[in-house]
Amino acid sequence: MSEYIFDESLISTEVQDTLSSNLKLRPLAKDDFDKGIFDCLEQLSITGDISQKKFVERFEEMKKAGGYYTIAIEDEDQGKIVGLGTLFVEMKFLRNCGNAGHIEDIVVHDSQRGKNLGRRIIEQLKYLGKELGCYKLILNCNEKNIPFYEKCGLTVKDVQMTLY
Amino acid sequence: MSTLFSIDYISSEVQESLPKGYVLRPLSNDDYERGFFNVLSKRFNYMKARNDEYFIIVIVSPEDCIIGTGTIFIERKFIFNAGLVGHIEDVAIDKNHQGKHFGLSIIQALKYIGVKTGCVKAILDCSVKNIPFYEKCGFRSRCHENTWIVKPI
């Protein structure tokens, strides 16, 4: 069994039960390079050309640092990842040394869209946020995705500014 | 005094631009005496153990009081060619020191850290009324995509 980026006990059985029997909701695993993780991520953004070695290196850095809760939905019939999402937990001094949960890199493979998988990913990340004591969850999205995130129970606040 | 991260990450250019007697430096573990309020050593030590991720800076007045602070934390990604993204957070200037470009100095110092650590980009969230300030600092709201922050009710 492959090594996970965080403990499997933090996966919500309630969310897993909403998925069809061939889909497994689990933490990101060290051998996920072989399960098409970059085919999935490429649908989100520029990934570049990452070798398996680089993937494993980054996985190990994230696991060692802690705070990275990346989840995957794997189609076990195909042995392929069809959905991903990350909750990054930022430690603060504000809010009585509170934790802020940053939702990042949400993607569902286009072969699996329209099946509510995005919704399930967000529900799992919300569950994680609660278990890990986050006082808020925040994410940035394009305007066209606002209705989706509103359905997940989030509301619009503030503007993202970027510097490249 | 133990600092959160090495002063190599402090921009000498930004330090030189501050009024005489004001010091730009990393957060240190005895800053609660300087009015940084309830710095718990456990959290400081957690961040210090991860000081390639958490960069908290302060500006200290000649009277040895903290008058400004800002944070950039460095998020590791798989996307952007296994890149790094800098998240700017918790920028605050004491109200008696506002309107004197200390906010700009904090942002410039955080940008310096972002560049030095190799970030692909730096991002921050702000209210609509603060957009002009951040635009002056070189940030852009991504108008063609109209990105927003969402958070639970």
Predicted confidence (pLDDT) per residue in A140-158, tens digit: 988 888 999 999 999 888 8
Model's pTM, two decimal places? 0.89
Q: How many CA atoms lie within 13 A of B66 on its CB side?
A: 22
B118: closest CA among B80, B85, B140?
Answer: B85
Average pLDDT, integer, range B91-99 = 94
Which pLDDT belongs to residue B142?
67
Please work out, in degrees rounded to the nearest 5, the angle formed at the alpha carbon of residue B16 by the alpha carbons of B71 and B55. Answer: 15
Which pLDDT belongs to residue B89?
95
Please work out, in degrees rounded to the nearest 5, the angle formed at the alpha carbon of residue A84 by the alpha carbons of A82 and A88. Answer: 175
Is the predicted pLDDT of residue B115 greater than 80, yes or no?
yes
- Domains of chain A (ranges, CATH numbers): 8-152 (3.40.630.30)
Percent of chain B predicted with pLDDT > 70: 86
Tens digits of per-residue pLDDT, A41-57?
999 988 888 999 999 99
- Domains of chain B (ranges, CATH numbers): 7-137 (3.40.630.30)
Tens digits of per-residue pLDDT, B14-31?
999 999 999 999 999 888
Is the predicted pLDDT of residue A100 greater than 80, yes or no?
yes
Q: Are strands B148-152 and B54-60 parallel, antiparallel or unpaired?
A: unpaired
> Residue A120 is encoded by which pair of tokens?
């399930």
Q: What are phi and psi of B60, to 5 degrees?
A: -110, 135
pLDDT greater at residue A64 or residue B42: A64
Average pLDDT, integer, range A68-83 = 97
Q: Rounded distance, CA B73 to CA A90, Å?
A: 8
Is the predicted pLDDT of residue A61 greater than 70, yes or no?
yes
Which pLDDT belongs to residue A62?
97
pLDDT-derived band at A159, boundaries 50, 70, 90: confident
As a whole number, the mean pLDDT across chain A is 94
Which pLDDT belongs to residue A144?
87
Is the predicted pLDDT of residue B143 greater than 60, yes or no?
no
pLDDT-derived band at B151, boundaries 50, 70, 90: very low
Average pLDDT, integer, range A6-10 = 97
Tens digits of per-residue pLDDT, A114-131?
999 999 999 999 999 999
Segment holding A134, helix H or strand E: strand A134-141
pLDDT-derived band at B1, boundaries 50, 70, 90: confident
Chosen from B87, B142, B151 to mutate, greatest number of chain A CBs within 10 A: B151
Interface of A with B in 51-110 (CB under 8 A): 54-55, 57-58, 61-62, 65-68, 88, 90-94, 96-97, 100, 102, 104-105
Select from A57, A150, A158 the Cβ nearest to the Cβ of B127. A158
Q: Rounded distance, CA B116 to CA B131, Å?
A: 25
DSSP string, chain B: --BSS-GGGS-HHHHHHSPTT-EEEE-BTTGGGGT-----HHHHHHHHHTTTTEEEEEEE-TTS-EEEEEEEEEEE-SHHHH-EEEEEEEEEE-GGGTTSSHHHHHHHHHHHHHHHTT-SEEEEEE-GGGHHHHHHTT-EE-TTTT-EEEEE-
CA distance readout (Å), A159 to A69, A141, B91, B119, B125 = 25, 10, 15, 21, 5
pLDDT-derived band at B139, boundaries 50, 70, 90: very high
Stretch among A11-25, B43-57, B79-93, B130-144 having the lowest mean pLDDT:
B130-144
Tens digits of per-residue pLDDT, B36-93?
554 467 888 889 999 999 999 999 999 999 999 999 999 999 999 999 999 999 999 9
CB-based contact A84:A32 (threshold 8 Å):
no
Which pLDDT belongs to residue A67?
96
pLDDT-derived band at B152, boundaries 50, 70, 90: very low
Looking at beta carbons, which residues of chain B come within 8 Å of A126?
152
Q: Does the beta-carbon distance from B82 to A58 stay under 8 Å? A: yes
3 state DSSP class of A148: helix
Q: Does the beta-carbon distance from A163 to B153 stay under 8 Å? A: no
